[in-house]
A and B are shown apart, each in its own frame.
Chain A
Amino acid sequence: MHESTDLAALPRARQGWFARHRERIGDIGTALLLLAVVFPFLWLVQMSFRPNEDIFGYSIVFAPTFEHYRALWTGNFPGSFVNSVVVSLASTVLALLFGVPAAYTLARARFRRGRQIALWILATRMAPPIAFTIPFFLAYRYVGLLDTQIGLIIVYLTFNLALVIWMMQGFFEGVPTALEEAAWIDGCGVWEAFLRVSLPLSAPGLAATAVLCFILSWNDFFYALILTRTNASTAPVAIVNFIQYTGWEWGRIAAAATLVMLPVVVFSLLVRNYLVRGLTAGGTKE
């Protein structure tokens, strides 16, 4: 849509008050919405820097303190934070390792079962986590994977693998086949051509997929709540645990929540354009 034929071309008298001021009204609406979206978020962040005596204070000017972050540093939180990083990274790497070749195959080779496989992957995205947690919990009890990092890494494959296949298939379909065919004619095998031609060309998509996998694993609360206790508990579960033990110590909770939010916000704003595609995966026709 172009601005060139906008309503300003019409005689002013024919436009109502609203039409004449629509730009400004729209801007004010946008600003108010921005406030509504950002306010709860920023409020929590500023709470994490307030001294305990003034934790619910309203003055904008206050002496920021790191006492809540220091208190977190001495507790169990750093260990849980490390667990979150390890589990999210490992699950992302595994999902890419298995999922990327599969996505490439589905994008290039015609399989009779292709449609069923696509449906299966969609169904995995739809299934409620409770349906997976019950059997995983029972099975992990027997094999001793409860409260282990490996256990969580495996569970996160339930959603990460489907996501990688779904997203990367779309990216590979966007890579022209002519380049690969040229590589085949030059004597490259299928997977050699893939590594040398198609994969480098879909690098931005690969990065976006990896970031999204990481965010999904990082954000998980339900699986980690059920399948871990102390050793392998992730950061979101650690927050809930110390709420249960020490009550609602707002400063510390706000600090922990800020630390959990930080990587996700930074990441997602960095790869914003690619991320949009993954977040809406399956919802738009491409």
Chain B
Amino acid sequence: MSSRGWSAGRRRAFALGLAPALVVLAVVTIAPAGYLLLTSLTPLNLTMPGTAWDFSGPHYNYVDLWDDDRFHQSAWIQVKLSAATVTLQLLVGLGVALLLNHGNWLRRFARTIFLVPMVLPPIAVGILWRVMYTVDISPLHRFMAWIGLPVPPLTTDPSLALWAIVIADTWEWFPFTMLLVLAALQMIPDAPVEAAKIDGANDLQMFRYVLLPYIAPTLLVAALFRLIDSVKAFPLIYVLTNGGPGDATTVTNYYAFVQAFNFSLWGYSSAVATLMVVAIFALSWIIDRLSGTGDARVD
């Protein structure tokens, strides 16, 4: 019996551990993805029999999307929402991480407490911000009125509703960037920091020339992850604005949801979702290129 036979047996044993998970993962991810793609090629409408596997015009949904102004508008709203939330979360997260990186008990305590918003159930986050945004009951609105700066209702104003979502989303997700940046800051070696101090660098110079080069890759990864997750924003929009007023906060994700579950246009909605998947995979690919996460994992 050679060690080779033993090693082959070990490989078989390992394969036995991996196979069930891959089968399950394939069933719950690849099969639905294929089903989604097929549905997007049909005019499926659950209120109209016979539309289920009708492939007579596989490209119709995509042609319709090309001309659908509401779809284009939803994509534009998504771009605005994503740009605003990602930028704000990055700035706030970075600032807070720099503030809390080292220090006394108060800042260590804050580091723990700041985890809370991102683990709260999104529906609860939606409800607590709904309280904050409802003028006649909100302590914030009352406070602003009391100091003489009354704030108009945000969620019912078409030009402000998106900002209401942005504020709530930033509150919920700045801790993500904060955590990543804190982890990156702790990896910075002492030597360059000490050297910069001896050379008399001020806070700004220290940040710009010593810290930033170390944490820039982390910031990029945080930005891309949040960018991808910002496409999934649903509970906040559902609870705070329901996509409105008008279509002011109807992002693409929400548009797909409404098309399928309110209008029963399943084929059309599937086409929207398929495009979203393609867009998100393109972004994921960029993440993989930039961060080398895949490499680090397998090597």
Residues on A close to B: CB < 8 A? 1-3, 5, 7, 10, 19, 22-23, 26-27, 29-31, 33-34, 36-38, 40-41, 43-44, 47, 55-56, 58, 98-99, 101-102, 104-106, 108-109, 111, 114-115, 117-124, 126-132, 134-139, 154-155, 157-158, 161-162, 165, 169, 184, 189-191, 215, 218-219, 221-222, 225-226, 236, 239-240, 248, 250, 253-254, 257, 260-261, 264-265, 268-269, 272, 275-276, 279-280, 282-286
18 A-B residue pairs with Cβ-Cβ distance under 8 Å, sorted by A, are A34-B113, A106-B18, A122-B287, A126-B283, A127-B277, A128-B231, A129-B234, A131-B32, A135-B35, A137-B260, A139-B35, A215-B119, A221-B235, A236-B235, A239-B123, A257-B128, A268-B116, A280-B180
- CB-CB under 8 A from A134, the residues of chain B are 36, 39, 256, 260, 266, 269-270, 273
Contact of A118 among B107, B139, B269, B294 (CB under 8 A): B294
Q: Given the complex of chains A and B, what is the CA–CA distance between A208 and B207 in angstroms?
A: 33
Residues facing A in B119-142 (CB within 8 A) are: 119-124, 127-129, 131-132, 134, 136-137, 139, 142
- CB-CB under 8 A from A236, the residues of chain B are 121, 123-124, 235
Tell me the count of chain B residues lying within 8 A, CB to CB, of chain A. 107
Q: Given the complex of chains A and B, what is the CA–CA distance between A47 and B292 in angstroms?
A: 47
Contacting pair A265 B142 (CB below 8 A): no
Q: Given the complex of chains A and B, what is the CA–CA distance between A154 and B128 in angstroms?
A: 30
Contacting pair A98 B21 (CB below 8 A): yes
- CB-CB under 8 A from B257, the residues of chain A are 130
Contacting pair B120 A269 (CB below 8 A): no
- Any A CB within 8 A of the CB of B77: no
Contacting pair B99 A26 (CB below 8 A): yes
Q: Given the complex of chains A and B, what is the CA–CA distance between A135 and B32 in angstroms?
A: 5
Contacting pair A283 B270 (CB below 8 A): no
Query: Chain B 255-292 against A: per-residue CB contact (8 Å), 1 yes, 0 no?
Result: 01100110000100110011011001101100110011
- CB-CB under 8 A from B261, the residues of chain A are 226
Contacting pair B297 A118 (CB below 8 A): yes
**Cβ-closest chain A residue relative to B168:** A40
Contacting pair B103 A26 (CB below 8 A): yes
Q: Given the complex of chains A and B, what is the CA–CA distance between A240 and B122 in angstroms?
A: 12
- CB-CB under 8 A from A43, the residues of chain B are 128, 131-132, 139
Contacting pair A41 B120 (CB below 8 A): yes
Contacting pair B21 A165 (CB below 8 A): yes
Contacting pair B280 A128 (CB below 8 A): yes
Contacting pair B17 A104 (CB below 8 A): yes
Contacting pair A275 B14 (CB below 8 A): no
Given contacts A31-B106, A34-B110, A276-B179, contact A285 B121 (CB under 8 A): no
Q: Given the complex of chains A and B, what is the CA–CA distance between A122 and B297 in angstroms?
A: 11
- CB-CB under 8 A from B235, the residues of chain A are 221-222, 236
Contact of A265 among B120, B139, B273, B293 (CB under 8 A): B120
Query: Chain B 229-244 against A: per-residue CB contact (8 Å), 1 yes, 0 no?
Result: 0011011001100000
Q: Given the complex of chains A and B, what is the CA–CA distance between A236 and B221 in angstroms?
A: 31
Given contacts A127-B277, A261-B120, contact A98 B110 (CB under 8 A): no
Q: Which of B22-30, B54-62, B66-74, B79-87 contacts A (4 or more CB under 8 A)?
A: B22-30
- Any A CB within 8 A of the CB of B166: no
Contacting pair B127 A239 (CB below 8 A): yes
Shortest Cβ-Cβ A-B pairs, 3 listed = A102-B21, A101-B17, A135-B35
Q: Given the complex of chains A and B, what is the CA–CA distance between A23 and B142 in angstroms?
A: 33
- CB-CB under 8 A from A161, the residues of chain B are 21, 24-25, 28
- CB-CB under 8 A from B137, the residues of chain A are 55-56, 250
Known: A10-B200, A265-B119, A268-B115. 19 other contacts (CB 8 A): A1-B102, A5-B197, A34-B109, A34-B110, A36-B171, A41-B117, A43-B128, A108-B14, A126-B281, A128-B231, A128-B253, A128-B280, A139-B32, A139-B35, A221-B121, A272-B112, A276-B179, A276-B183, A283-B221
